[in-house]
Structure formats: C-alpha cells, structure tokens
Chains A and B, each alone.
Chain A
Amino acid sequence: MIASQILAIARNTFREAVRDRVLYNLVAFAVIMIATALLFGEISIGIQKTILINIGLSSISIFGLLIAIFLGIGLVYKEMDKRSLYPLLSKPIRRWQFVVGKFLGLNLTLLVNTVLMSLGLWAALYYLTRSFQPEDVHIWTAIYFILLQLCLVTAVCLFFSCFTTPILAAIFTFLIYVVGSFAADVRDFGRLTENSALESLMSLIYYLLPNFSDFSVAGAVSHGRAVGGYLIVLNTAYALSYSSLLLIAAVWIFSRRDLK
C-alpha cells in the first residue's frame, strides 16, 4: 500500500509535468540545438562528429537542468501555496511518501525527456555518419551521467522547495550547480591562496556541496574514449547517496511544517 501510494503521487507529478506547455518548449529548444549541432558539424571539416556529440550532449544536459530546476523548485512550494496539498495530505499517507513521490515523479519526467532528446541526438548522429561505430555506445554512458546529475539537481530543488520560495530555490540550486561544477577548481583555489582559513573554507565547500564535475564526460566520449567502470560505479553511488541525504533532510523539514 505504501509503495502504491508513492507511485500514485509520482504518476500525478509526471502527469502534471507532461501537461505543462513549458516542458514542450524546452524540449523543442533542445531538439533545435541538436539540429543546429548538425549545421556546425557541416562547417567543421573532419570533426563533424565530435562537434555534434559535444553540442548534443551539452544541450541535453542544459535543457535537462532547466527542466529539473523549473519544475523542481515548485514541487512542494506550489502545492503549499495553492493549497492543493490540503485534500491530499488529509488522506491516509505520511508526509515522507509525498516528498518521495514528488521526487520520483520529476525524475521519471526527466528520464523520459532525456531519453527522447538522446534519441534525437542518436538520429542526428546516424544522419551525419550513416553508420554507428562501436565507440558511439559510450554516448549512452554520458547520458546516464546526465541523468544522475539531474537526479541530484532534483533533490537539491526539492530540498529548497520545502522551505523557501521558487525564486530563491532556483537561485540557490543554480548557484550550487555552478559551484559544484567547478568543485575541484574551488578546492585548488583554496590551496593556491596559502591561507589556511581560506583553504579550510574552500575544502568545506568542496566536500559539502554536490560535486557535479565528475559527471561531465562529454569531451571524452565525443572523442570516442570509454568511461571507466569505476567512475560509473562511483558516480552512481555518489548521486544516489547524496540525493538520499537531501531527501531525508527535505522530509525532516517538510514533516515539521505547518500548512497555513
């Protein structure tokens, strides 16, 4: 019963996203970007494929991020603000089920969108090369990493959505994403300063904020290089455990909130 209740919430979250026109606009933009990558490929003699994969994966990542943030920031807040939560939470469910259901629903939306956009990239690749090479399969590893990254972003959004407004949640999530994408640089910057206090602060940021930099393998796969199995395991474990911690924190906050 508990699982079916969570799935019902996830399904409704997915349905809400699917019926949101903004989602289609973003997906359309992503498809246009991939088509544009084909044009760039045409004018880049010899590296057409590299350009296509690079721009294609970046488009999937950026638009996935936009969808995750756009939909994620309102996941809980919008329901509290519009009071659609009242009839729902007065049903025999626990608040953690609501939070987990919302998280799964948005991830399902992102999974479907990412797969659709990836199929677009795959089609564009076939259009360009008229055949697939064995190393092209590594593109799917990069796409898997994008999905893990989006899972993490969704958890960050959901966490902020439990106690702040959508605008602030969007700003915080975006800042965390930017800093997290340069996590290693932040730590190295601290070391370069040779100031122990600053170095400790930068190290704290490095370990505290989610590290997104290890999820970016577009450069490697666009050159046909494989991604090591250890990185796949490590990134999977990292994204799932970090997301779980954020979910626990979100549940903790949300379970104590008065719905006014």
Chain B
Amino acid sequence: MSAIEMSGLSKDYTVGFWRKRPWRALDGLSLRVEHGEVFGFLGHNGAGKTTTLKILTGLTFPTAGSATIQGLPIGTPEALRNVGYLPENPYFYDYLTPDELLDYFSRFFPMSAAQRRERREIVLEQAGLIEFRKTALRKFSKGMLQRIGVAQAVLHNPEILLLDEPMSGLDPVGRREVRNLILQLKAAGKTVFFSTHILSDAEALCDRVAILHRGKLVGVGQIAELLKRQSGFEAVIESCPAALLPRLQALASGTVTASGGHHRLEIAEEKVAEFLGYCTGNGVRLLSLNPLRFSLEDYFVELLRASELASERAAIGSKTS
C-alpha cells in the first residue's frame, strides 16, 4: 500500500463570465508516493500542483479519477487524520495568537489537554515562534505566517505531509529552516509530498520528483536517475592546431567553443575514452575533464519543451486530419 495513490485524477473548472467554458486544470494524473519518501511536485504556475493538493485534502472534488491516502479514500476524516497540510500562501485567523491557533487546530485530533500543550510547545519551538506565541497573527510577516503554517501542519505529528510551496515567501534563513525541517521529517520516516517551482529545493530534498505541465504528468522519477540520464563530461584543452579541430568537433556532443587560448567541449560518456586517446596521440594538452552535471532545471526545461512540441504536433495533426 502506497502512502498516496492517485489514479486518473482530472479536474475541470468553469471559466468565463458570459460564455462559460470548461478548463482542464488536471488531466488524468496517476501517481504513487511511497512511505518515507520526500516527493517533489514540480511545475510552473498554473500547472495543476495546487489543484492536486486540494483534491487530496478534500477541499476540491475531482471531476474524474480517484485517490487514496494510506489506502483510505480522500476527503474522509479517516484519511485526513494522518495528514498535515500547508496551503499555498496560508491565511489564518488574524485575531488569534499562535498559541490560540494551535490550540484550536489541535482540538480536531484525539489528543488530551496535556498532549495538546506538549505538541504546541514542540512545534512552536521548531518553527522558531516561541517568543511570538502571544502576538496576534495580524502582526505577523509573510514569512512568519508561513512558519506558523508549517507548525500547524506538523502539529498532530502526522505520517504524511502535503506542503504547497512551503518555501514561498521565506527569506534565505527561513528557507533553510524549512529545508532542515523537511529533512528532519524524512529522518523520522514521514512521507513529504510538496509542490514547488524552486528547483534547487527539489534537487536538494527530494528522493523522487514528478513534473506537471498544463495539468498533465510529463515526467516522474528519482532525481539521481533523471540527472544521470543526461550526464556527460566537460573538457577544456589548450588551443590546438586548426587541423585537429574537425575531429574534436566530431567527438564533441555540441559545438566546440574557443576563448582565452582554450577550447571547451562537451563529451558524451561513451566517447570519453576515445577522446582521451585522441588527445594523447596528437599531443593535445588536456587542462581539465569534469563530469557535466545537468541540473534539474535543465531537465525540467527540456521536458516542458518536449511536451510543448508534442502538443503542437497533436494540434497540427488534428487540423490536417
């Protein structure tokens, strides 16, 4: 049994004022998140990330498909008992203090008064809000609200955390704190499913990521695997005679660039040995050879391009047929 399982989830909204028309926010999303995973849900604004999280928490109803959390159908109190949710740009009752807000939310879980008090202390400490516990939330900055949002999500020590853009609105220190918190949760064996468009966060934290584009899942896999697929090497050589360049160009996976008396070229993994042999045999001085690490951002952009291209082809195909 997976921690979260989605099967063909779709969501249509009605848009337009006079001429109402359906707009598909989510298109047949099928995905599994395993227990203990930190799973990144990536996509640009409007890709359907928030819609997915709202469906999982029962705030929005899917037009089609189904989903379960720990085997329990979504939208039921039973499924939500073990879920902590942080909405995007959270807003809380601004007339309450963090103490009051957390006490209020803790009353929805089967906890004794002593347990409620204890959990409140722990999460306020974790969120770094102990000294502001008696300050009305209306006086909180965006970053502080985000922190109280994280605090209320982990209040009942849930097994599964659904975090919608948890680093949004945070300064670098705040972002690092949330990152550390996610790592702590992972170490404690919790499942964290979080949406983000900050790819460096996903790269640093996630075991696996899924990429959503216009409501469709366009890629999913382990970060290490996704990036390995694209790996190669970057070689820098001292300027060599022009006669050697065409062969070097043939070995390179891209164009050979020249600057400051050096040539820079990218070499695919399977051609590295051949390249090194060529350099040694022809007296080409190799200055450096480093693994070329494609970032998640490169992968993300590439996937989106491929997805755009596929959509364009499909559109052309439907017009011509």
Q: Chain A residues in contact with chain B, CB under 8 A? A: 1, 4-5, 8, 12, 15-16, 19-20, 82-94, 256, 258-260
Contact = CB atoms under 8 A, between A and B. Distances in A.
B contact residues, range: 20 to 34
Given A12-B93, A84-B91, A260-B13, A90 B77 contact: no
B7 to A, nearest CB: 20
Contacts of B110: 1
B80 A90 contact: yes
A89 to B, nearest CB: 6
B149 interface: yes
Q: Is the interface of B mostly helix, strand, loop or mixed?
A: loop
Contact of A258 (B61, B81, B85): B61
Given A86-B87, A92-B80, 9 more contacts: A8-B104, A83-B87, A84-B93, A86-B57, A87-B86, A87-B90, A90-B162, A92-B77, A260-B13
A91 B95 CA distance: 20
Contact of B54 (A20, A256, A259): A259
A83 B81 contact: no
A87 B152 contact: yes
Contacts, number: 76
Contacts of B149: 87
B58 interface: yes
B304 interface: no
Give the most central of B13, B81, B91: most A CB within 10 Å. Answer: B91
Contacts of A258: 13, 59-61
B108 interface: yes
A16 B136 CA distance: 13
A247 to B, nearest CB: 20
A82 B94 CA distance: 11
Given A86-B85, A86-B87, A259 B92 contact: no
Contacts of A93: 77, 108
Contacts of B57: 86, 89-90
B162 to A, nearest CB: 8
For the complex of A and B, list the 4 residue pairs with the smallest distance between their C-beta atoms, beginning with the closest.
Answer: A92-B77, A90-B85, A91-B108, A86-B87
